[in-house]
Amino acid sequence: MKPGRLLLDVKKTEPKETVPEGFVPPFGQKPIKEETVDGMTVYTVKTPTVCPYDFSDRPVPCQLALKYNWTRSLGADTSDALQELYNYVRIHTGKVLLELSPEDCFCVGMAYTSIALETEQVSGERAVNSVSSENAFYCLVNYMKGTGDKSVIPTLFSLLYGPEDLLGDVLTICHGKQMRNAPSHGAFLGPRYDFRSPDFRRSAISYRLAICRYIMDQIYDWGRGIYTESFHSIPTSCWPDDEQLRRFAVEFENSPFLAMNYAIPGKRYYDGVFLECKNLLEEY
């Protein structure tokens, strides 16, 4: 989706300040209040308003993404950090993401994933979520392609199997190219087929099931319901929960992809969506 106006209005939440006994403030803050609640000593600490870490040696998108990720990890208000990242890339165009190394793409992709999945609609629009999901998909796939690290696959699953309209635009563009480039499909649809129809968009979005199964098969045993690889020190806040995975398994079993070699369209559309996300960054 083409990025729209600058993001100026995001719902704010109050930071959490009270911490239980035994909690060590991560930045050495001194408690500003001490009280006893239900026989337990509880301290209140003030969350730093400025990130205490120095990210100045990283590209600017990384600096802003790390600031957002740090703020989010504290449960504090992320609206200012979100606007800084979103507006910086909006103003400086997608080129700043294309210039990132695969390693630097990780933190940026994680930040955009959180924005895509968690930000409420702004003025009744989902443009912020859609653009963020496309940026996240590009960054996370670019990271995995460049490093071979599959730990981002569950996060990609959440992007794909989240709200249908998140990656709906790029899935539709990819689907249209697949149909036009396949002689049998092109002849069947005919030259006057409306590639902008709601039915065509729904058909395009359904291919997210094939992509999800294709990538998750690399790290997940559906029969036993467990991950086949261990990932240490990896953020899992955007990973699917057990209920989401069960719901997906049921939907996939009832889809036409189960009766076909789903890995073929899964990989083709996985690569195709990545390319379309990259094309959008180059264009805007």
The model's pLDDT over 154-174, given as tens digits with 9 standing for 90+, comes to 999 999 998 888 999 999 999
17 occurs within a structural domain: no
Per-residue pLDDT, 113: 96
Residue with tokens 């069960």: 246
Residue 153 maps to a domain: yes
Tell how strand 40-44 and strand 18-19 pair up: antiparallel
Number of domains the chain is built from? 1
Residue 128 has a pLDDT of 86
Q: Given the structure tokens 């040696």, which residue do they identify?
A: 57
Q: Enumerate residue ranges in the chain where pLDDT < 70.
A: 1-32, 42-52, 121-126, 182-193
In a domain, 227, yes or no: yes
pLDDT score for 179: 82
Evaluate whether 42 touches 52 at the Cβ level (below 8 Å).
no
Note whether 85 and 68 are within 8 A (CB): yes
Q: Is residue 29 part of a domain?
A: no
Indicate whether 134 belongs to any domain: yes
Residue 108 in any domain: the answer is yes
Half-sphere exposure of 141 (CA within 13 A, CB side): 24
Evaluate whether residue 12 is within a structural domain.
no
Distance CA 42, CA 34 (A): 6
Among residues 84, 96, 95, 76, the alpha carbon closest in space to that of 15 is found at 76
Whole-angstrom Cα distance, residue 191 to residue 278? 28
Whether 175 is in a domain gets the answer yes
Structural domain of residue 210, as residue ranges?
60-283
pTM (predicted TM-score): 0.80
pLDDT of the residue at 22: 53
